[in-house]
Structure 1
Amino acid sequence: MNIQKSYREDSGQGKLYLVGTPIGNLEDMTYRAVRVLGEVQLIAAEDTRQTRKLLTHFDIATRLVSYHEHNKHASGPELVRLMLAGDSIALVSDAGLPAICDPGADLVRLAIDAGIDVIPVPGANAALSALIVSGLPTERFTFLGFLPREKKPLLQELELLKPAKETLLFYESPHRIVKTLEAMLEVWSPERQMCLMRELTKKYEEAARGTIRECYELLLEQPPQGEYCIVVQGGTASESEPSAAWWEAFGLEEHVEHYVTQGLNRKEAIKRAAADRQLPKRELYNALHRQEQ
C-alpha cells in the first residue's frame, strides 16, 4: 500500500512533477506549468532540443537533462538519487502529458518505489481533445495508443477489440494510417463511425468525421499529413448479430486459407475457422488431415 500526501510538510526529499506541455499551440501552456518549470532544480525531457524551444519562449532558465527510451535505465536511477537528495524534477514529453506512450511511466514507477511524491500538473492531451470533438460517445472510452506495426498482430488486436462497446482511441503516424484503416475494414464493419483528427491545435487542424470506409477513401484522395488521433465507434449491434455465415460457401481448406491470406499462421487460422463453425479445433484439424490423405 502506498499513500501519497502530495502537499505534506517538507520531507527533505524532492518531488517529481509530471508537467503537461502544449501539443501545438503555445497558448495552451498553463500558468502553473510555467511556474513549476521555473521553480524545480531540473527538467527531464524526452527531446531536449524541442523542450529548449519551449523554455526559451517562456523565458525559463532551469537546467535541462535528457531522459528518453534509450537512456532511461541509466538516467532514471540517477534522477531518483537526485530527488532523494532534495532536488525536485519536472518531467516533460515532446508534447502533451508525459508518461503516456513514452518512457516517463518507468520513471514514475521508480519514483513511487523510492517513496518520492509524484505530482501531476495537467495540460493538453491529444487523445482526449480528439474524443471531445469527435461527436462519438464519451461516457466510456478506451485509449490504446499505437496499434501493432505488423499486419498479423494488428489484425489479431483488432479482432480482440471487435466486441468492445466503448469508444476507442488510437494514435497513428501519417506513414501507417492508411494500412491501419485497411486492417479495420477487414475486421470491423466499414459502417462504424469514426473521426480522424490531425494537427491538433495547429494551423491546419482538421477533423474528418464519417464511416471507416469514407475516411479510408478520403485518405486515398488526400495523402495523409501530420500526426493523427483516431476515434472509432465501439462495436455495433449489426456486428454482434449472427450473420448468414460468410464462410458457408467455403470448404474446410478454403475457410482456413482465407485466414492465412489475412496474415495468420496455419495454427491460428485453423483455430479461427473452428470457432466460426463452432467445432472443437481438434475435430477440424482431423477433418483437414483426412481430406489430405
Structure 2
Amino acid sequence: MTPAPVSPAIDVHDLVKRYGRRTVVDRLSLSVEQGRICGFLGPNGSGKTTTLRMICGLLTPDGGGGTCLGHDLVREREAIKRQTGYMTQRFGLYEDLTIRENLEFVGRVYGLDRLRPRIDEALERLGLASRQGQLAGSLSGGWKQRLALAACVLHEPRLLLLDEPTAGVDPKARRAFWDEIHAYAAQGITVLVSTHYMDEAERCHEIAYIAYGELMARGTAEEIVRNSGLVAFVASGAGADRLAPRLRDAPGVTAAAAFGATLHVCGPDRDRLLKAIEPWRADPALAWHEAEPTLEDIFIDLMGRARDNGPADG
C-alpha cells in the first residue's frame, strides 16, 4: 500500500508585508517539507526576520497566505505559535535568573506538564546540567545559545525558527549547535534558520535566498551552484591576491576576492570574464584555472541584481 503523501510543514504563497510605503516582503512563496533544514539567507534588511515572524504567527501578512503545520497562516495563528519554537537574534531570557529558573519560567508560560523531567532532559541533552545554577547573564555567547535553544524546544515543537542563532559564537560552539539542529531534524522537527555564514548554509538540506523582500534563489546548495549561470576562475602565484581591487569593477566581473594568496573572480558571461582577466593570464608568475562558483559568489551576484525596496522619493 502506497503511503499517503505528507503535507509540507511550511507552505506559504505570495506573502506581502508593508510598513508605510516600503514593501518589506514582496509576494514571497516558500514550501518546506517536514524534517528538513532550510537555510534562509540574504543581506540585512532583506525581510528574513519579517518572514519568520509571519510564518510563526507573530505578524499578520498584508497579502498572501498558506499553511504552517497544517494550520491556516492567518486564521489559526495561536495554534501555530503553540507548536513552534522561535529563537530570536538577541538573547531573550532573564539574565538575573539561573539556567534552570529560566526554563522553569518558560515551562510555566506554556503550562507544561511533567515540567521537572522536561527540564532535566533539556539540560542533559544540551550539556547544561552542570551549569543549571549559574546566572544566565554570566554565560558566554555559546552557552547562552544553548540555553535559548533549550527554551525553544522545551514544549516539544514541530517547527523551529532560528533567526541568526550563531551570530558572535565561536566555531566550536557553532559546530556543536548544528549537530543538535540535525539531531532535531532527524526526529522529524522542521527547521528554518537564517544565517550569514556560507559554511552553515552548506549544512542545510536546502537554501532560500531573499533580497529586498523577494525570493531570488531556492534549492540545495548544489542546485543553486549548478543553476547560477556564473563562471569562475582562480589565479594562484606571486601577487595574485593583490589583483582583486583592480578586477572588482571590471566589465563582466561580479565578484573578485582574495582567498589567502589566491584570487577568485567570477561573472555571468565567460567571454567577458576572460577578456577582463586577459591582461594577467600571460603573466608567467600566475597560474589560472576554471572553477565552480561558490555560494558567496552567487549571493553577491544576486545582491547586485536585486532591486532596492526602499520607498520612492516624492
Greater relative CO, 1 or 2 (CA 8 Å, sep 6+)? 2
Structure-2-length-normalised TM-score? 0.30
Higher helix share: 1
Structure-1-length-normalised TM-score? 0.31
